[in-house]
A and B are shown apart, each in its own frame.
Chain A
């Protein structure tokens, strides 16, 4: 295993052992499946964010886009004639559109990723509220959404989908021209440009892809809960970014690992299940994740300075 993923693998193993010993019923099959199903959306978001952060950017709008996509699905299914497939595809398209807006601002206008995605974060959440309508904060999915609910809630489809996207993401990042170009841009954008990489087009692609993934995560989330809520995806960006950075992807760009990110998501999932069974409130989990986020970046910096010492 690549050294980049070692810390997250150790953390994951340690937490698993700790919870297995301390928490009775931790290995309950149904419970683990439910947890994995719930975290499938995070894995999908994390794959997109790994590419974005690897290219030297950031996207904090993903959580809001998950919410907007879920609400769009609910609205299309309840207030229009649209069939299930059309509604799902439209929701994913809405996510891609927001990704396109991010990409245009960042790649074409050259704006700072932090602010552009901050603005779309506000805009997407606002639109989700507006779309749902005055005083409505959740929309129950109608009968025609039955297949989606079954797929998300009973079959292992979300997990299989997440694993497929993970494998594809990992292969793209490590073995294709696109992936290597993303990391080249993250390491040194100017050098990448001068060596003939189409920087703008690749950055645009990465953000659109991440938007589409967020749209997909919104559809899965709505299916899983049987309702589309305006608060869906609230704070997801924090958990997904934490997972990516604890997985060993460098916040400075240029070095990224999809496998590490998904191990990070698994760690977050285990933490969620363990804390839940121990009866600890969600706020403790958030505090832990915040600490993990900061420590991960500190580790990355320490590793970098050791490497630099070695070069000297």
Chain B
């Protein structure tokens, strides 16, 4: 009985999208020579890294029933502040400053949502524009260039991919095995019931938005590590790709349900779709239209499954 419940509730949710990803990769590997080449796989890995790291935080936010539109702006703002220090040679300090600024921005979102009671979509839409504008003003349109590849230790080779996978592993364990992780699901399922059961929903939600902020700044460091340069609009619009990955991965936008494994597959699908569109010679611009359609289909499928 228990076995059947587990089997029926857990496995089928991620299997279809996993099969879709496998099918997509097989198709591309068979039809284009470039797809399975070592160099393209590396491109895929680095492409996925920043989006994937942010997607772990976004999964948690969406499980609580919220959304974070500001991730790309937090990334730009935090990375530009810390990036200057790194470019001046103080790598460790700049690294820490970036992560602290990212956490603070996330906590600001969390504070607006919990303490002030602003709906997540509006709070993070506001901080999106405030932080993106602040980042652009701060940089004065200038690009940060790391001449000595100071962040090579997180940007070279397959390190970005390893960082992304470690983030996923940590997120998976946190959501599955820790008490706050389980409470996050409880809040998203029914916040009132969770509160009455003694869960401090406000504090947890604040923590989840802060986590999303710190992961965004980590993603920024990885991006800067990969290319050794960074400017204010390098991550413009990334929030769409991140949310797409999470939603395609089966996390329910109404909260209470979602899996980190699903998100990992979702990141794979959105990365391969973008990469594949270019490889098969479709205009790269099709990718955005396809991702939009994919989000729509994913939420519609989620709804139909629940009926």
Contact of B16 with A by CB under 8 A: no
Stretch of B26-34, B122-130, B206-214 with 4 or more beta carbons under 8 angstroms from chain A: B122-130
Interchain CB contact under 8 A, B300 and A120: no
Q: A114-B67, A114-B253, A294-B122 in contact; A122/B129 too (CB < 8 A)? A: no
| Distance in Å: Cβ of B181 to nearest Cβ of chain A | 24
Residues of A within 8 A of B133 (CB): 283-284, 286-287, 290
Closest CB of chain A to B217's CB: distance in Å?
19
Tell whether B293 is near chain A: CB-to-CB under 8 Å.
yes
Highest count of chain B CB atoms <10 Å: which of A114, A122, A127, A281: A122
> Does B299 contact A111, Cβ atoms closer than 8 Å?
yes
A111 closest partner in B (C-beta): B299
CB-based contact A123/B296 at 8 Å? yes
A118 to B291, CA, bound (A): 11
Q: How far is the CA of A129 from the CA of B129 in the complex (A)?
A: 23
Q: Quick check: is A130 within 8 A (CB to CB) of the other chain?
A: yes
> A290-B130, A291-B126 are contacts. A119–B293 as well, Cβ < 8 Å?
yes
Contact A123 B293 (CB under 8 A): yes
Interface on chain B toward A: helix, strand, loop, or mixed SS?
A: helix
Q: Does B12 contact A (CB under 8 A)?
A: no
Residues from chain A with Cβ under 8 Å of B288 in the complex: 122-123, 125-126, 129
Partner of A118 from the list B117, B137, B240 (CB cut-off 8 Å) is: B240
B247 at the interface (CB under 8 A from A): yes
A56 to chain B, nearest CB (A): 11
B129 near A58: Cβ-Cβ < 8 Å:
no
| Count of chain B residues with a beta carbon within 8 Å of a chain A beta carbon | 43
The tally of CB-CB contacts under 8 A between chains A and B is: 129
Q: Pick the most buried of B112, B125, B253: most chain A CB atoms within 10 A of its CB.
A: B125
Which A residues lie within 8 Å of B253 (CB)? Answer: 112, 114-115
A58 with B289, Cβ < 8 A, contacts A109-B300, A114-B253, A122-B240 known: no
Please report the C-alpha to C-alpha distance between residue A109 and residue B286 in the assembled complex, in whole angstroms: 26
Q: Any chain A CB within 8 A of the CB of B134? A: yes
Say whether B285 contacts A126, CB under 8 Å.
yes
CB distance from B156 to the nearest CB of A (A): 32
The CB with the most chain B CB atoms within 10 A, among A60, A118, A283, is that of: A118
B296 to chain A, nearest CB (A): 4
Contact between A301 and B117 (Cβ–Cβ < 8 Å)? yes
B295 touches A286 (CB 8 A): no
CA distance A127 to B117 in the complex (A): 36
Q: Is the C-beta of B173 less than 8 angstroms from some C-beta in chain A?
A: no
8 A Cβ contacts from B97-136 to A: 112, 116-119, 121-123, 125-130, 132-134, 136
Which chain B residues (80-100) contact chain A, with CB distance < 8 Å? none
Chain B stretch 275-307: residues in CB contact (< 8 A) with chain A:
283, 285-296, 299-300, 303-304
User: Which of A109, A115, A134, A238 interacts with B129 by CB under 8 Å?
Assistant: A238
A110 lies within 8 A of B303 (CB)? yes
Task: Give the residues in chain B near A298, CB-CB below 8 Å.
Answer: 116, 118
- Complex CA gap A115/B301 in Å reads 13
**Taking CB as reference atom, which chain B residue is nearest A113?**
B121
B243: interface (CB < 8 Å) = yes
Residue A208, interface by CB 8 Å: no
B285 contacts which chain A residues (CB < 8 A)?
A: 126, 129-130, 134
67-103 of chain A: CB within 8 A of chain B? 101
Question: Which size bracket describes the interface of A in this complex?
Answer: 35 or more
A93 → B minimal CB distance (Å): 19
B286 near A251: Cβ-Cβ < 8 Å: no
Interface string of A114-149 (1 = CB under 8 A from B): 111011111111110110011000000000000000
**Which A residues lie within 8 Å of B67 (CB)?**
114
Measured CA separation A53–B47 after assembly (Å): 36
Residue contact A115 to B130, C-beta cutoff 8 Å: no
Contact between B137 and A281 (Cβ–Cβ < 8 Å)?
yes
Tell me the bound Cα distance from A289 to B285 in angstroms: 30
Query: What residues on A are CB-neighbors of B119 within 8 Å?
Result: 251-252, 297
**Contact sample, A vs B, 13 pairs, CB 8 Å cutoff:** A118-B295, A119-B292, A126-B285, A126-B286, A129-B289, A241-B125, A286-B130, A286-B132, A290-B130, A294-B118, A297-B118, A297-B123, A298-B116
Residues of A participating in the B interface, judged by any CB pair closer than 8 Å: 58, 60, 101, 105, 109-112, 114-116, 118-127, 129-130, 133-134, 235, 238, 241, 245, 251-252, 281, 283-284, 286-287, 289-291, 293-294, 297-298, 301
Leading 4 A-B pairs by shortest Cβ distance:
A126-B289, A123-B292, A122-B292, A126-B288
Given contact pairs A123-B293, A127-B289, a sample of 18 additional A-B residue pairs in the complex whose CB atoms are under 8 Å apart: A105-B300, A111-B299, A114-B67, A115-B247, A121-B292, A122-B244, A122-B288, A126-B285, A129-B289, A133-B283, A251-B122, A283-B133, A284-B137, A286-B133, A290-B127, A294-B118, A301-B117, A301-B118
